[in-house]
Amino acid sequence: MVSSLPGPSSPGSPCELRIRSLSEIVCTLHVGPMSEVWELKAAVQSLMGLPRHGQRLLAGTQELKDDGQLGPLTTSGLLELTLIRRPLEQAQWFAKLEGDTTVLKTAPESVRGDRELLAFAVQRDAAALQYATKELRSDRSFVLSLEKSCKIALRYVSENLRGDREVVLAATRTDPSQFRYACSPLRSDRTFVLSVLRESGMSLKYVASAFQADRDVILAAVTHCGEALKFASADFQADRGVVLAAVQDNGLALSCASLELQADHEVVLRAVERTGKALKYASAELKADRGIVLAAVKSDGWALSSAQCPMDRDIVIAAVRQAPGTRLNAPTMYWDDPAVLAACGFQSPGPKRSLVSLPSFGRHGPVVKNAKFPTR
């Protein structure tokens, strides 16, 4: 049987794909590098009548995931995959779990202890882990494997694993809030808390209160994730060193800084250089500072809307070069300025204006308004 995958053609050279069982070639398809595995399985279902969930496709010893692309496997122009049929009962459970993971509540123990089925369910709803057998919830390798594709719901793993450093680190990487479910000894271990925050700064919200007053702990969090500054105390939001570390990671952390630091020239400059829109949170005096505004619009042209300084050509050019749509936020005297139009990527209209008005640019491309066309 020979077929091609349905839908729009994939870019790149077509590849002949042969699917074989353990003993013979069962079908041949033509695919492109952008073809996805789930599309391939749907085509096999159409050709052979074998439900998608009943298929395992292997390239050598590697099983292909439904959300993966065939990509580099197709470069030679010929690809051979091995088809292994899943047991009928397992395939039926895959189909059930795709629609509703809570069916695990009443599933037999053999299903709740099936690593593939539980991994599939947890990818759809992390809370499905609560229905796994005790043995599976205590299986370190299984729990760690979940990090690659979904959130690890630490609250549902065994108590022993909630005290496992590697498991807790993996869980907080998938979701910072999971740190609250770590065992007490780990949550009280300063060295471990620092390790967590260096990888997952937003876990700062869930560390023990004793560490909320520890400057090194706060620095570890905001250096990795500037947004974590919102979970720091007011004292640290007024700490210049802490705020500088935060805005260097994420300029918008300026929104959580004290009023005094929102008026600090160096702090604000670092913030807007990192994230132009941070200009919104600067003091009124610094919103009117030409150097600050110029740095902000170079980072993000749309920061022009927060500027309070007199607009000059250099500021407008810097803004439109980064975001052409900001031309209409500039004073009208610059709208048709040749240098501004050139920075937008337009050609100067010259002495004679075109009958079609020049387009403005929105966030997603050109927008033509009130276009006028010549009449015959």
332, HSE (Cβ side, Cα atoms, 13 Å): 0
**Tokens 């509703």 appear where?**
100
DSSP 196-229: HHHH-GGGGGGS-GGGGG-HHHHHHHHHH-GGGG
Spatial CB neighbours of 4, under 8 Å, sequence gap ≥ 6: 29, 30, 31
Note whether 334 and 316 are within 8 A (CB).
yes
Give CA–CA dist 20/84, Å, rounded: 9
pLDDT score, position 5: 60
Tokens of 162: 């909630």
pTM above 0.95, yes or no: no
Q: What is the pLDDT along the chain (376 residues), one digit of tens a residue?
A: 555 565 444 456 678 888 888 777 888 888 877 888 888 888 888 888 888 888 888 988 888 888 888 887 887 888 889 998 999 999 999 999 998 999 999 999 999 999 999 999 999 999 999 999 999 999 999 999 999 889 999 999 999 999 999 999 999 999 999 999 999 999 999 999 999 999 999 999 999 989 999 999 999 999 999 999 999 999 999 999 999 999 999 999 999 999 999 999 999 999 999 999 999 999 999 999 999 999 999 999 999 999 998 888 889 998 888 888 888 788 888 888 888 888 887 655 554 444 334 444 444 444 444 434 334 3
Listed as own residue / partner, the contacts of 240-249 with beta carbons closer than 8 Å and 24 or more positions apart are: 240/264, 240/267, 242/215, 242/218, 243/267, 244/270, 245/219, 246/222, 247/271, 247/274, 247/278, 248/223, 248/274, 249/222, 249/223, 249/224, 249/225, 249/274
Of the candidates 198, 209, 146, 193, the one whose C-alpha atom is nearest the C-alpha of residue 174 is 146
Give CA–CA dist 151/153, Å, rounded: 6
pLDDT score, position 350: 52
Please state which of the four CATH numbers 3.30.365.10, 3.10.20.90, 3.40.50.2000, 3.30.565.10 is assigned to the domain occupying 1-86. Answer: 3.10.20.90
Note whether 294 and 318 are within 8 A (CB).
yes
pLDDT score, position 77: 83
pLDDT score, position 366: 43
Domain map (residue ranges) of the chain: 1-86
